[in-house]
Structure 1
Amino acid sequence: MIAFGWDQLQLWVSALFWPFCRLLAFFMSDPILGHKNVSSQVKVGLSLLLAFLLAPNLPPMPDIPLISWAGLGVVVEQLLIGMSLGMVMRITLAVVEMAGEICGMQMGLAFASFFSADTGTNSQVLSRFLSLVTILMFLALGGHLMVLELLASTFSRLPVGQFGFNPEAWNQLARHGGSIFLSGLLLALPMVGALLIINLAMGILNRVAPQLTVFSVGFPATLFVGMLLLTVLVGDLGQFLAGLLYQALHFMQALIEGLPG
């Protein structure tokens, strides 16, 4: 007869519960694998399934009671690790959406917006288009598999219950957000520069010939030139997005290595 007590049961539950917290925090904060259109039940079920598959290969769990202040600290630790990795992907997708917002405003498409369930706010059509292209590019390049592999490797590089983070890692995360937002501005810069020249020309023409209906001419002109530039931009968009996604994956790996205190 096999007998087990509370200590053995707690060991089995902790081997599954604490990895589950890290995985669930990542799926809740990641904008691609944890998209708002994916139900919470699916995210919880996927996190539980991955935790069950990873549990036999994980390092030994700390001898900490689940129902204790130390156990609560371990849960907070796992949530911070998962959310920090998911935040990297969220910043990357936000950069592309920001570039679409800027280009759409310059093209005169600011009114063409609709409610986006994943952000909870109104988003422009061009921003939504670039966001969908980025998600499809991420899946086509196998980025979801790379992210899951990185996430599984965190349990060996960041063991459960280490209770210590390097403050410089959070500083690197903030700096990465600034540098990657610069990439978004560089993506929108060609269209913004060309459309700004058109708007300046229309403003000068309006001052020279006020009797002309410049506004009725300027809007179709900026929209036509914007669509033309967007057609040219799409040719190099795949290479730019691939570099942006690989940059995010490399930073995730660097963040995993820099988080231990």
Structure 2
Amino acid sequence: MEFTTSEIASWVGAFVYPLMRVGAAALAAPVFGNNMVPTQVRIFLGVALTIAVLPAVGQPPPVDPLSIDGLLIALQEVVIGLTIGFVLALALNTVVVAGESIALAMGLGFATMVDPQTGMSVPVISQILLVVTTLMFLAIGGHLMIVQLLAESFTVIPVGEFQLDRDMFWGVAAWGTQMYAGAVLIALPVVTVLLVINLSLGVMTRAAPQMNVFSVGLPLTILVGGVLLPILVLPVLPLRMEAMWAEAYRTIGELLGVTPIGG
């Protein structure tokens, strides 16, 4: 049995090109891109997900993966995967920005810990909200939606038929405003109450200069923030994040021409 070079290149490209898109998405997407996951496990997940979506890939172009055209196709696949994963990661990091705002208002901005998702130091409030949100993401099957979205992307955008343009990059950057808007909606109730308390403490300090505002204000804001967090933030967090994830999937659909999940 003899095989030509073009046949071998076609077989390799049929797996390598989808692996580029799936691997890039898994690298940037929530849960799959967690830095706490060993590199070997992440590689295994990328290969396993690629095998799972291969039936939806279709026939890739007969291009040598080591040629210039093959490298350009691989670059396009990486950009598509990073776009899918990065937008979803921005949606999840909404609670990190909200937690930072709440922590600063409470006076806990200095209390930080390492985020296992990104390896960066974030306030404790952000870490609490991030853990809760990640569990919600898994509970609603968000990781399965990512796999479904990747499979649909190969149907709508076959390998080698995507053209990079400036509008897509601007669209991803502009979607970052949605992250900050969502963070404001999550943190606004608690931050507003704490702002009123701080203003009241300022008036009290002017009325009674002998009062030590730091010894009274810091414990008070921490106590009030800790009480308001499960009352004003956690009950509305599922609704806010559900809207953020729906907007994220819709944005991905607009940028790549993929049918949004549930749409």
For 1:147 and 1:191, the matched residues in 2 are separated by: 32
Deviates more, 1:110-119 or 1:84-93: 110-119
Alignment of 1:185-200 (within 5 A): 185-200=184-199
The count of aligned residue pairs is: 257
Please report how far the alpha carbon of residue 120 of structure 1 lies from its aligned counterpart in structure 2 after TM superposition: 3.1
What secondary structure sits across from 1:123 in the alignment?
A: strand
User: Where does the alignment leave 5 or more consecutive residues of structure 1 unmatched?
Assistant: none
Please report how far the alpha carbon of residue 172 of structure 1 lies from its aligned counterpart in structure 2 after TM superposition: 2.4
What secondary structure sits across from 2:122 in the alignment?
A: strand
Are the structure 2 counterparts of residues 163 and 236 from structure 1 closer, same or farther at C-alpha, using a change threshold of 3 Å?
Answer: closer
For 2:162 and 2:77, the matched residues in 1 are separated by: 10
**Partner residue in 2 for 1:60:** 59
For 1:5 and 1:53, the matched residues in 2 are separated by: 27
For the aligned residues, what is the CA RMSD? Answer: 1.7
**Partner residue in 2 for 1:257:** 257
Amino acid at match of 2:140: L
User: Where does the alignment leave 5 or more consecutive residues of structure 2 unmatched?
Assistant: 259-263
Amino acid at match of 2:255: L
TM-score (norm 2): 0.91
* Partners of 1:150 and 1:253 within 8 A in 2: no
What secondary structure sits across from 2:235 in the alignment?
A: helix
What secondary structure sits across from 1:87 in the alignment?
A: helix
Please report how far the alpha carbon of residue 190 of structure 1 lies from its aligned counterpart in structure 2 after TM superposition: 1.1
Amino acid at match of 1:225: V
**Partner residue in 1 for 2:246:** 246
**Partner residue in 2 for 1:79:** 78
* Partners of 1:27 and 1:47 within 8 A in 2: yes
Amino acid at match of 2:83: S
Alignment of 1:136-155 (within 5 A): 136-155=135-154
What secondary structure sits across from 2:81 in the alignment?
A: helix
**Partner residue in 2 for 1:41:** 40
* Partners of 2:9 and 2:62 within 8 A in 1: no
Are the structure 2 counterparts of residues 53 and 228 from structure 1 closer, same or farther at C-alpha, using a change threshold of 3 Å?
Answer: closer
TM-score (norm 1): 0.92
Are the structure 2 counterparts of residues 116 and 57 from structure 1 closer, same or farther at C-alpha, using a change threshold of 3 Å?
Answer: closer
* Partners of 1:147 and 1:249 within 8 A in 2: no
**Partner residue in 1 for 2:109:** 110
Amino acid at match of 1:8: E
* Partners of 2:29 and 2:85 within 8 A in 1: yes
What secondary structure sits across from 2:93 in the alignment?
A: helix
* Partners of 2:113 and 2:127 within 8 A in 1: no
Please report how far the alpha carbon of residue 235 of structure 1 lies from its aligned counterpart in structure 2 after TM superposition: 1.9
CA deviation string 1:39-63 (max 9, x = no partner): 1211211111222233344221112
What secondary structure sits across from 2:160 in the alignment?
A: coil
**Partner residue in 2 for 1:94:** 93
Please report how far the alpha carbon of residue 163 of structure 1 lies from its aligned counterpart in structure 2 after TM superposition: 4.8
For 1:239 and 1:223, the matched residues in 2 are separated by: 26
* Partners of 1:137 and 1:242 within 8 A in 2: no
For 1:103 and 1:197, the matched residues in 2 are separated by: 14
Deviates more, 1:109-118 or 1:38-47: 109-118
For 1:188 and 1:93, the matched residues in 2 are separated by: 15
For 2:158 and 2:7, the matched residues in 1 are separated by: 20
